[in-house]
């Protein structure tokens, strides 16, 4: 009995971590653009295009690494496009973001049909998946809770701490934050606002690229239509709740990962599957709601 419960918790934990990783990566990327003053609604598209190209290149080269790199490049390309439109051409942020999301959604489907004559999904045993940090120490806790996760998971946690340092202690971070808070001050200081935003976009693209690769080369091992399923917006919610602070993002992403895992678990129970699938989105709204209620209370009591 006890062992079964432990198995359950372990599975839940491992699934949570697995689900949390893409959200964490995307949120960290989006946090950079957030500090630079852009509410990034294109993360969905960034992740999706990376998911696609990761699978394609992993399939073609047999190496997950090339897949990841290809995915990142694709993501960075779209991110650059986003940045050019929003930072330099001063187009509307939401408009371009959604246009890009739709572009990527249609484009990946289009490319998949052209390249693979596939239906709505592309699956093949030749797709190489991302390696795990495989280690068998014999200790149950270590083996299941610390080791044997995708290397991107470990990388993402590292990046979270790295970004906390970069954003709040370095010159780049200072300029980034000023860019979002008061771009005129940056301009008057002689720094080009557009380039700061551009760099934040490139880094965001890279991180979302990693997120997409994790989705299609580890969490599952295929590409299917619109497989990001709104995660890009869950990441946005995470960023807004945490105010762009990387350590908080780490916690929130884990929380969302738990919700995701619960939804997978509940699907095999008697509860109708749709409620489980709804959970991450409802939770995003609820968490945002609580956050705003708390802020409102604080303002009232001030």
Partner 1 sequence: MSVYSGAPLGAPVSYRGVLQILTCKSVSKTYPNGLEALKEVSFDVRRGEIHAIVGENGAGKSTLMNILFGMIKPSSGEITFKDKPFSPKHPSEAIDLGMGMVHQHFKLVQSITVAENVVLGMENRFQNKLRKIDMAEVNRSVASLIEKLKMSISPEDRIEGLPISKRQQVEILKVLYRDTDFVILDEPTAVLAPNEVDDFLEFVMGIREMGKTVVFISHRLGEVFAIADRITILRRGRVAGTFEKKEVDRESVANMMIGSAIDLSEHPEDSLKSDVVLSVEEICDVSGTLKDLSFELHEGEILGFAGVGGNGQEELFEALAGNLKLSSGDIKLRGSSLKDHDTFGRRMAGLAYITDDRMRKGLAPDRSIIDNSIAGHHKFGKFGKVAINNSKARAFAESIIADYDVRTSKNGKTTVSALSGGNMQKLLVGREIAFEPKVLLAAQPTTGVDVAARKLIHDSFRKLSKAGSGIVLISGDLEEIMDLANRIIVLYRGRAVAEMSYPHYDSTEISYYMTGIRGSQDVHCSNAQP
Partner 2 sequence: MFTARTPSLKKLSFSLLLVVCILSVWALIIWFGGESPFKGFYYIIDGSLGNHYQILSTLNKMVPLILAAAAVAVPAWTGMWNIGGEGQLLLGAFGAALVGFSVDFGVGLVNIVVALIVSAAFGMAWAAWPAIFKIKLKMDEVVTTLMGNYIAAQIIAYLINKPFRDPKSPLAQTPYIKSSFVIPYLFEGTQFSATFFVAIVIVLALFIFRKRFLLGYEFEITGSNSVFAELSGVRVSKTKMLSMLIGGALAGLAGGLLVLGMTQRVMQSFSPGYGFTGLLVCLLAFNNPLLIVGIAFLFSVLHTGSVNLQLFSSVPAEISGVLQAVMVLFVAAFKTFIVGRRDG
Q: Which residues bind partner 2 (CB under 8 A)?
A: 39, 41, 81, 85, 89-92, 94-96, 98-103, 105-107, 109-110, 113-114, 229-230, 233, 236-237, 240, 272, 274-275, 277-278, 281-282, 284-285, 288-289, 292-293, 296
Q: Does 175 bind partner 1 (CB under 8 A)?
A: yes
Mask for 238-277, x = binds partner 1 (CB under 8 A)? ----------------------------------------
Q: Does 292 bind partner 1 (CB under 8 A)?
A: no
Distance CA(277)–CA(212), nearest Å, equals 20
Q: Does 181 bind partner 1 (CB under 8 A)?
A: yes
Residue among 112 and 130 whose Cβ is closer to partner 2: 112
Minimum distance, C-beta of residue 299 to partner 1, in the bound complex (Å): 11
Instruction: Compute the Cα dihedral for 54, 55, 59, 64 and give only its sign.
Output: positive
Q: Return all residues near 67 (Cβ < 8 A) that are at least 6 apart.
A: 53, 54, 55, 56, 57, 58, 59, 61, 127, 128, 213, 217
User: What is the CB neighbour count within 10 angstroms for residue 299?
Assistant: 8
Question: 45, 24, 201, 29: which is closest to 109 by C-alpha?
Answer: 45
H/E segment holding residue 131: none
Q: Does 5 bind partner 1 (CB under 8 A)?
A: no
Q: Would you give the DSSP letter of residue 86?
A: I
Residues of this chain that bind partner 1 (CB under 8 A) = 165-166, 169-172, 174-175, 177-178, 181-182, 184-192
């Amino acid at each position: 009995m006890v062992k079964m419960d432990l198995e359950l918790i372990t599975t839940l934990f491992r699934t949570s971590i697995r689900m949390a990783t893409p959200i964490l990566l995307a949120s960290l990327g989006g946090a950079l653009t957030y500090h630079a003053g852009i509410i990034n609604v294109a993360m969905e598209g960034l992740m999706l295009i990376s998911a696609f190209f990761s699978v394609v290149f992993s399939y073609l080269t047999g190496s997950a690494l090339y897949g990841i790199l290809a995915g990142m490049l694709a993501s960075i390309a779209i991110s650059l496009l986003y940045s050019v439109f929003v930072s330099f051409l001063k187009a509307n942020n939401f408009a371009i973001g959604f246009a890009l999301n739709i572009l990527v959604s249609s484009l990946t489907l289009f490319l998949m049909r052209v390249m693979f004559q596939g239906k709505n999904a592309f699956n093949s045993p030749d797709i190489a998946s991302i390696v795990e940090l495989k280690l068998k120490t014999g200790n149950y806790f270590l083996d299941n809770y610390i080791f044997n996760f995708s290397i991107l998971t470990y990388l993402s946690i590292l990046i979270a701490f790295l970004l906390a340092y970069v954003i709040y202690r370095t010159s780049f971070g200072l300029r980034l934050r000023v860019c979002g808070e008061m771009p005129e001050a940056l301009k008057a200081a002689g720094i080009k606002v557009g380039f700061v935003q551009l760099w934040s976009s490139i880094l965001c693209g890279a991180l979302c690229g990693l997120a997409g690769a994790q989705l299609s080369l580890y969490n599952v091992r295929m590409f299917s239509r619109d497989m990001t399923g709104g995660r890009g917006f869950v990441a946005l919610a995470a960023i807004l709740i945490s105010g762009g602070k990387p350590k908080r993002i780490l916690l929130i992403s884990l929380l969302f990962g738990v919700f995701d895992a619960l939804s997978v678990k509940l699907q095999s129970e008697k509860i109708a599957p749709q409620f489980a699938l709804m959970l991450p989105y409802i939770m995003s709204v609820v968490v945002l709601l609580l956050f705003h209620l708390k802020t409102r209370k604080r303002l009232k009591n001030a």
